[in-house]
Chains A and B, each alone.
Chain A
Amino acid sequence: MNLIQNTKFDTFKMIFKQIGGLLIILGYTMVVPLLVSLLYSEFYSALGFLISGLISYLIGFFLNKTIQIAKVPLNRHALIIAAMGWLSIAIMGALPFFIIAYITPVEIAQQFVPSLADYQSSIFYFKNPLHALFESMSGFTTTGLTMAVHEPSIGKGLIFYRCFSQWIGGAGFIVLALAVLNQSSGKIAFLLYGAESSGERLRPTIIETARSIWKIYLVLTLFSFVYLVIGTYFILPEYNLLDNIFDSINHAMTGQSTGGFSTLDDSIAGYNSKAMDMLYLLPMVLGALSLPFYFKVFYEKQIKQFYKNLQTRSIIITCIFGGIILSFLLLKSGVISEPFRVGIFQFISALTTTGWQTSDVHIWDAASVTFIVMGAMIVGGAAGATVGGIKIIRILLIFKGLFWHINNYFSSENSIKVVKFNEKRLLPDEMNRELAVAATFSFIYLVFVLTSTFITYYFMGTEYSITDALFESASAQGTVGLSCGITNPEMSPVLEITYIIQMWAGRLEIIPILILFRTVFLGTNPKVV
């Protein structure tokens, strides 16, 4: 018994040491919004970031440096670290919202509110720690659901912080820690890397892989930024250039990370321009493509990957056809004035799990809502990208498996039923294994969405329907961030916590969360039957 106690204790020591490393990084990242706050002379926000950054850094430092443990983590530990780590980051990342909400005087906060608007600053919603945690979790998991009802009224510093947290969370906190800290040994690094992202090794070492990923990610974001600045300048020449640059930086970050936070009150709809809607399609699609795919295109100069890569091809095709189908559904329902503009933008926003919104989903008909949930939000983008959802590759695999299964009835008993998927030839055993993993994940994913739909149904406002509940639940689970209005500061805390858990599970693909629960409730001993 004593022995078991010790191992359990060791496990937690090991996990906390790794989490400490993540919190140190989080502390450092707070410097960026701090500088932005100073740039806009928002001294209370700057102070808030300074305090939060210090707290995060000191806790991280305490955990990482004082815990002495020689044991090397195993695979399950890596998964627990990923789950616990992301939760800790969301909690510590909520500090700036909470602290700034408390220290900013009312009259200062009121200065953030645009001059013509008649509402109060939304910053004070974050006095409720649950709201702060929700916002932080929605940020780091790149979801985009928000408690800041009127975004511009929380100050440039916090607006930037929200977008920045999505950007950091997009490529992955653990990947960032691996790239920056350079202290983990190869094995730990590999396990941690696999626990957070697709696990595809691009370079001989994981550290180099992590750096490559961040480099690609940075370059893509810079590209989106330049693209958006120039695009906005030509489409809306009247628009203030400084605002344009601020918007473009933030939107480039939230587009590339498929997060979907916006600097505007009404998301992209705030520009009131068809051309701007069009302009914003590209950053979303870029964000939904797999980072390893970009690596192959740019580093290894495999341009043919553009049409050969199964995921990339299917995402582009799905975007086109899905957008058109949704447009026709909306056209048929007649509730939307510009069905094609809305249909295409919203479908792509949902499929890429970005969550920029140009339409009030609450007024959509049930068919359109169901279609966007089933055809886009649950599917999601490419594995290895910053998206949520089941991921398009798993959906394709399951369909392939179905056809394979049917075709097998037509071949002779002794023949080897090989199946070709994604440029790989799989033997029956391998295919069955892949199918089992994909199907199990898809199943648990749907269970999460449905369970949450029922919870939503019982805790949401009376003006919403069951399709709205399904929509909001799928949006949180897929880290999409489109909202039909159920998510607001007045929502039930039960529902808010449900969505927090969903976003958390959605970002890490559920399994690490289940492993964490297993460890907490049943310990780390193998189950004997």
Chain B
Amino acid sequence: MKIIIAGDGEVGFYLAELLEKEFQDITLIDKQRDKLAIVENKLGIATVLGDSTSYRVLNQAGVQNADLLIAVTSVESTNITTCLIGKKLGAKSTIARINNMEYLVDKDKLDLRDLGIDELVSPESLAAREVKYLLKSPVLTEVFNLYKKDLYMMGVRVEDDATIINKSIAESAHLLTNSSFMIVAILRNEKTLIPTGDLHILMGDLLYFIATDQGKDKVLEYTGKKPILIKNVLVIGGSKTGKYIALRLGEYYNIKLVEKNLEKCNHLARHIPNVHFVCGDGADVGLLEEEKISDYDAVISVTGSAETNIFSCLLAKDHGVKKTIAMVENTGLFNYSQKMGVDTLINKKMAAANFVFRHILKGRVLAQLYGIESEIQEFIVKEDSKITNQSIKELNFPANAIISGVVREGRGYITLGNFKLKANDTVFVFSLPESMKEVVAFFK
């Protein structure tokens, strides 16, 4: 599969890095010579220097044979133009990154597909959507929608008041009498474990569940969490992400948004209803105390600086804020920030990459998770496969992988041991990288 990525920033590089692992032929177009050189050395992919809206540059990248053209520069109009020209020159499918919510809201009316843009992606808006899910169920460290409103991936940290501590998974299985959720992975001391019956759950573990809609509450019950009601939300940083959070959530929560730049702050204040705006530095302890940070149920820090975001969240935790979410673009900081006590991380690049994976590259890697090594993959069971009509416990499935959910005829199911796979089921598999090949072979 030939994929061309037109980018000028982190999203482009990150996508290239991820896709490189999976596919053969990636070409990255970028305007910055030195950055391209780094990528070329590190990833060994083809690069083209220049403006992606140029006919010559696109041809040079081989657009006429491309299966997919992804335009993710920070300039929306560049992305749209790139896709339009690329499609004209022969790219089979195109994705454009956009900043303007209008395009997403009126997606069907505008019908950009007609023009040559097959899919729109807005990392900021995806991040805002993630925040929305997280605020709805604040005890979760992570929520990820696998299939419509039917299957969710969720992460929960085990804290000292949980009854399941020091019990093996098998022992706690009596609590799992229903088939609405299951544990698919455990993150302990930076290591990812795939659960087996005799594995004990320890305090501080981060448990990953897959659950149906009804199962979401059961997961909380299982881990001994009491639901928290979020009402007052402090958003730090008026970046695009902050703006979308304010726009999307303004009507549901009391939101106060802190932004350093007065001009930006004024601009946001003029356009976003139902939100208080404060001009000031989100890393300024005095200011946050003056704004009564301890009165907030949740603090979401989405400034351009990961360090500021982590710091603000730690400060908030210290003041007794129940839920803190930090935007961390530097993936190297994931483990440390989680260890230090930030509840939840969001990452625009990963949100965008996950989106691209899910919507365009069906049947492959579905999603990356924060700080965890395993990946969720999606497979479709074939008619003539040897695994059809067998219950899962008889399958002899690879050890470091787990079948965690199935979509059958438009409905999601949790796959406990007695579940039998049928042809045309969509199967979600959770696996460690070393078992990836085995898993793929299994479904061939």
Chain A interfacial positions (CB closer than 8 Å to B): 411-416, 418, 420, 425-427
Check B269 against A414 for contact (C-beta < 8 Å): no
Question: Contact at A415–B270, with CB atoms within 8 Å?
Answer: no
B266 & A415 in contact (Cβ 8 Å cutoff): no
A415 contacts across to B, CB distance below 8 A: 256, 276-279
Of chain B, the residue at the smallest CB distance from A411 is B276
Judge whether A425 and B269 touch: CB under 8 Å.
yes
Q: Which among A411, A413, A414, A426 has the highest number of chain B CB atoms within 10 Å? A: A414
B278 to chain A, nearest CB (A): 4
**Would you give the 0/1 interface string for B269-291, flagging 1 where the beta carbon is closer than 8 Å to chain A?**
11101001111100000010011
Which residues on A sit within 8 Å (CB–CB) of B342?
none
A426, chain B: closest CB distance, angstroms = 8
Contact A425 B278, CB 8 Å, known A412-B290, A412-B291, A416-B266: no
- With A and B bound together, what is the CA distance between A414 and B271 in angstroms? 18
Point out the residue from A416, A420, A426, A427 that lies within 8 Å of B278, measured CB to CB. Answer: A416
**Structural contact, B287 and A416, CB atoms closer than 8 A:** no
Inter-subunit contact A425/B279 (CB<8 Å): no
Residues of A within 8 A of B245 (CB): none
Main secondary structure of the interface of A (DSSP, over half): loop
Q: Which residues of B contact A (CB under 8 A)?
A: 256, 265-266, 269-271, 273, 276-280, 287, 290-291
Q: How far is the CB of B396 from chain A (nearest CB, A)?
A: 62
In the complex, A415→B266 CA distance in Å?
10
Q: Quick one: closest A residue to B262, CB to CB?
A: A416
Q: Check if A427 sits within 8 Å of B266, measured CB to CB.
A: yes
Q: List 12 additional contacts besides A412-B278, A413-B290, A416-B276; criterion CB under 8 Å.
A: A414-B287, A415-B276, A415-B279, A416-B266, A416-B277, A416-B279, A418-B269, A418-B270, A418-B277, A425-B269, A425-B271, A427-B270
Shortest beta-carbon contacts, A-B, top 9: A416-B277, A416-B269, A418-B269, A415-B278, A414-B280, A414-B278, A425-B270, A427-B266, A414-B279
How many pairs of residues, A versus B, come closer than 8 Å at their CB atoms?
35
Residues of the B chain whose Cβ atoms lie less than 8 Å from the Cβ of A413 = 290
Q: Which residue from chain B places its CB closest to the CB of A430 in the assembled complex?
A: B270
How far is the CB of A418 from the nearest CB of chain B, in Å? 4
Query: B289 CB to closest chain A CB, in angstroms?
Result: 11
CB pairs A–B below 8 angstroms (16 shown)? A411-B276, A412-B278, A412-B290, A413-B290, A414-B279, A414-B280, A414-B291, A416-B266, A416-B269, A416-B276, A418-B269, A420-B273, A425-B269, A425-B270, A425-B271, A426-B270
A412 to B256: give the CA distance in the assembly, Å.
11
Find the A residue at minimum CB distance from B291.
Answer: A412
Of all chain A residues, which has the CB nearest B274?
A420
Closest A residue, CB atoms, query B276 = A415
Q: Which of A411, A412, A427 contacts B269 (CB 8 A)?
A: A427
- Chain B CB within 10 Å — which of A413, A418, A425 has the most? A418
* Complex interface: chain B residues within 8 A of A420 (CB): 273
Please tell me if the beta carbons of A425 and B273 are within 8 angstroms of each other in the complex: yes
Query: Using Cβ atoms and an 8 Å threshold, which residues of chain A touch B269?
Result: 416, 418, 425, 427
CA distance A181 to B287 in the complex (A): 61
- Quote the shortest CB–CB distance from B73 to chain A (angstroms): 31
- CB neighbours of B256 from chain A (8 A): 415
- In-complex Cβ contact of A416 among B265, B290, B291 (8 A): B265
User: Within the assembled complex, what's the spacing in Å between the Cα atoms of A414 and B280?
Assistant: 7
Residues of B within 8 A of A418 (CB): 269-270, 277
Which residues of A are found within 8 Å of B277, using beta-carbon distances? 415-416, 418
Closest partner residue, chain A, to B275 (CB atom)? A418
B280 contacts across to A, CB distance below 8 A: 414
- Chain B residue numbers with a CB within 8 Å of A412 are 278, 290-291
Query: Once bound together, how far apart are the Cα atoms of A413 and B273, in whole Å?
Result: 20
A524 to B259, CA, bound (A): 46
Min CB gap A374→B, angstroms = 34
**B276 contacts across to A, CB distance below 8 A:** 411, 415-416
Which A residue's beta carbon lies closest to that of B272? A425
Give the CA-CA distance A286 to B121 in the complex, in Å. Answer: 50
A425, closest chain B residue (CB): B270
A425 to B270, CA, bound (A): 5
Which one of A413, A416, A425 has the greatest number of beta carbons of chain B within 10 Å?
Answer: A416
Q: Chain B residues near A414: list those with CB within 8 A.
A: 278-280, 287, 290-291
Q: How far is the CA of A422 from the CA of B225 in the complex (A)?
A: 46
Give the CA-CA distance A414 to B266 in the complex, in Å: 12
Residues of B within 8 A of A416 (CB): 265-266, 269, 276-279
